[in-house]
Amino acid sequence: MGETPKPNRTRTLRVGNLARVEGEGALYVRVKGRQVEEVRLEIFEPPRFFEAFLRGRSFTEVPDITARICGICPVAYQMSSCQALEAALGVQVEGPLKALRRLLYCGEWIESHTLHIYFLHLPDFLGYPDAVRLAQDQPQRVQEALALKKTGSELMTLLGGREIHPINVKVGGFYRVPRKAELLALRDRLERAREIAQRTVRFVGSLDFPDFAPDYTFVSLRQEGEYPILGGRLVSNRGLDIAVAEFEQYFHEEHVAHSNALHATLKGQPYLVGPLARYNLNHDQLPASVQAVAREAGLGSVCRNPFQSIVVRAVETLYACEEALHLIDAYEEPDPPSVPVTPRAGAGAGCSEAPRGILYHRYRMDEQGLIAEAKIVPPTSQNQKMIEEDLRQFVAANLELSRPELTLRCEQTIRNYDPCISCATHFLRLDIEHEP
Amino acid sequence: MPRKQRKPTLAVWKFASCDGCQLSLLDCEDELLAVAGAVQIAHFLEASSTVMPGPYDLSLVEGSITTPHDALRIQAIRKNSRFLVTIGACATAGGIQALRNFADVEEFTRIVYARPEYIQTLKHSTPISAHVPVDFELRGCPISKGQLLEVISAFLHRRKPNIPQHSVCLECKARGTVCVMVAQGIPCLGPVTQAGCGAICPAYQRGCYGCFGPQENPNTVALSAWWTQLGVDEAAQQRAFRTYNAGARAFSKEAERHG
Ligand code: SF4
Ligand code: SF4
């Protein structure tokens, strides 16, 4: 049943609890006539104060603690922490240790992207409440998704000890490195994962996407010679090109009343981080084979439709499988498992590509290596303003949609970002109130 | 007409947490569809938009109570749940966010937020059992998938879950890991920490950091003496007991001794 918007009539959309997102959030939209008057993505995930209680902890404890910010992307937190602390300590982790970090991160990309594609986002496109209901109609598809996800988890478990809050990551490298034979044992499963990932790209590429393509400012890491995961320079499609250490001169966080997550802006403007940004700024770094699969699925070298982020995520999952195979084949066992670190006073910044986008950390520590100041800027807080902006534009362009349809599309718009509200959300209950 | 047997309903609830413990359920890739076949998932926001009204047969609760609103929400959930099981260190001991309990929350709010007046939070992060009766507490940060499946199946079959309360040390022995503290002088909380993880850390050449919380009757005093011999200073010992299970009694008491 369609609703024709009447001039001067106010419609309010309210979604009390977002579903199939990570963490807790809600949505409020107020429309008057054809004018979207207010959009608020409300994050009521209770504050957990990590930046405060990291003060006084030893740098050696930081990667274990920051992992606890998010159970969905703990590796990202561990990697950005380690890189920031290593910068402060003047050590560099290179060679096979760096390759192992990338391999562990590939595991997280596979696991997290697959979870988002099949469990959080796909049900919207197919009209299911969840993947379990989907599995009743399409068992093979869901079983393959679980196998793909499991391969990511296995990689994380081998390298990290377990997939949630890995215990094997430390400043300087690892506590124990795997034997080549242990990695080779995962090869067959990764080959199968790669096939499933390829089928996933083709399948999600065939979904119906609303016609929507805002003119975003994309921000991601970029480094010649590889698709960004661990580091590089911060770049945008509008000419930004800075070192990670310069982040805070360009990016600012503000605190708004309706959200417990801070809003970040780039020189006062909203910007987008995550798979879409990475893909658009680094398409040329993807192997030709992955580019070809992306092209077949209808993706050009630039994709501005956020609803197609599901396709980009699938492409990145495929990439992570290929990269993992490549890293395993090239692996040579390092000795020792970490580079030595000696505490000293200093400050350092680090940034890596969490599945949801860039994750920035900065620490200052004293001569004993105790943290004096910590700053953490997660992807969700960087995207929050952009999500609100998308909702504003999407609602304005689709006012003729029926209430259930508009609600679903709003939820989907939020899920495009895979926002992880633990870091900085779930079920969307939508009420539209009419004012006479 | 014969009555169709109703599947037991499962609800998953989140309070202050990282989502890791409930994610553990989705991480049971091999068993997920079987679990979903055995129960009716009635409320699990991370995984489904389906929201059924209570009462629920089994509620799994993740996270700790840190806001006035959550303190009320848990009461409603308890009233609506036949069995209520808390999952993870946050829900059973206040979690990592319980580090606020030893500090000034107003100062914490000022450090993290530019506009502290927008933030509503309690001075303490408390476990679920501090607010409502709990039928079973599953330890770990994060919980172990195997233990989670055991707890779910135990409650579905109305039996007591088989969860050991001995220390990580026994798991090291079972796994054949050489003691890292004896052989290499690496400080380890294994002797006072409850088993469940499978003794992962020592197998990866590091000491246990206590993410499963205190075992039954831990001798923390003896362990601290050992750590002192290994050259660990008082402040570091306090920090070791004040991490993911800072709010668990045996650990908080020991941490106080090293003030
Ligand atoms: S106990 Fe640990 S893994 Fe579980 S929700 Fe809390 S922080 Fe996350
Ligand atoms: S810290 Fe202890 S309890 Fe936690 S995973 Fe390591 S060995 Fe297991």
A168 at the B interface (CB within 8 A)?
yes
Determine whether the interchain pair A256/B118 forms a contact, defined as Cβ–Cβ distance below 8 Å.
Answer: yes
Backbone angles phi, psi at B127, to 5 degrees: -70, 160
Helix residue ranges, H only, A337-378: none
Of B18, B141, B197, the CB nearest to A69: B18
List the pLDDT tens digit at each of the 436 positions of chain A: 344 445 566 777 666 566 655 556 677 788 887 788 888 877 666 778 888 889 999 999 999 999 999 999 999 999 999 999 999 999 999 999 999 999 999 999 999 999 999 998 998 899 888 888 899 999 999 999 999 999 999 999 999 999 999 999 999 999 999 999 999 999 999 999 999 999 999 999 999 998 989 999 999 999 999 999 999 999 999 999 999 999 999 998 876 666 655 678 898 889 999 999 999 999 999 999 999 999 999 999 999 999 999 999 999 999 999 999 999 999 999 999 999 999 999 999 999 999 999 999 999 999 999 999 999 988 888 888 888 888 888 888 888 888 788 888 888 888 888 776 544 332 333 444 433 3
Q: Residue A136, Cβ neighbours under 10 Å: how many?
A: 12
How many angstroms does the Cα of residue B22 sit away from the middle of ligand 1? 9
Determine whether the interchain pair A48/B96 forms a contact, defined as Cβ–Cβ distance below 8 Å.
Answer: yes
Determine whether the interchain pair B99/A71 forms a contact, defined as Cβ–Cβ distance below 8 Å.
Answer: no
Determine whether the interchain pair B18/A119 forms a contact, defined as Cβ–Cβ distance below 8 Å.
Answer: no
How many angstroms does the Cα of residue A371 sit away from the middle of ligand 1? 23
Of B21, B51, B204, the CB nearest to A161: B204
Determine whether the interchain pair B33/A72 forms a contact, defined as Cβ–Cβ distance below 8 Å.
Answer: no
* Cβ pairs bridging A and B (under 8 Å): 186
Q: Chain A residue closest to B120 (CA)? A: A46
Residue nearest to atom 2 of ligand 1 (CA): B141
Q: Tell me how far apart the alpha carbons of residues A227 and B204 are, in angstroms, rounded to a whole number.
A: 30
Q: Residue A284, Cβ neighbours under 10 Å: how many?
A: 10
Of B19, B50, B70, the CB nearest to A129: B50
**CA geometry: angle at A74 spanning A269 and B104, to 5°?**
75
Contact (Cβ atoms closer than 8 angstroms) between residue A199 and residue A142: no
Q: Which protein residues touch ligand 2 with a CB less than 6 Å away?
A: A 167; B 168, 193, 197, 199-201, 208-212
- For residue A426 and ligand 1, the question of a CB distance below 6 A is answered with no
Ligand nearest to the CA of B170: 2
Helix residue ranges, H only, A176-265: 180-184, 187-205, 247-250
Tokens 């209430």 belong to which residue? A403
- For residue B247 and ligand 1, the question of a CB distance below 6 A is answered with no
Q: Tell me how far apart the alpha carbons of residues A150 and A111 are, in angstroms, rounded to a whole number.
A: 7
pTM metric for this prediction: 0.93
- Residue from B175, B200, B243, B245 to probe ligand 2 pocket by mutation (most atoms less than 8 Å from CB): B200
Q: Tell me how far apart the alpha carbons of residues A129 and A131 are, in angstroms, rounded to a whole number.
A: 7
- For residue B187 and ligand 1, the question of a CB distance below 6 A is answered with no
**CA geometry: angle at B88 spanning B50 and B145, to 5°?**
75
Q: Which residues of A touch B107 (CB under 8 A)?
A: 52
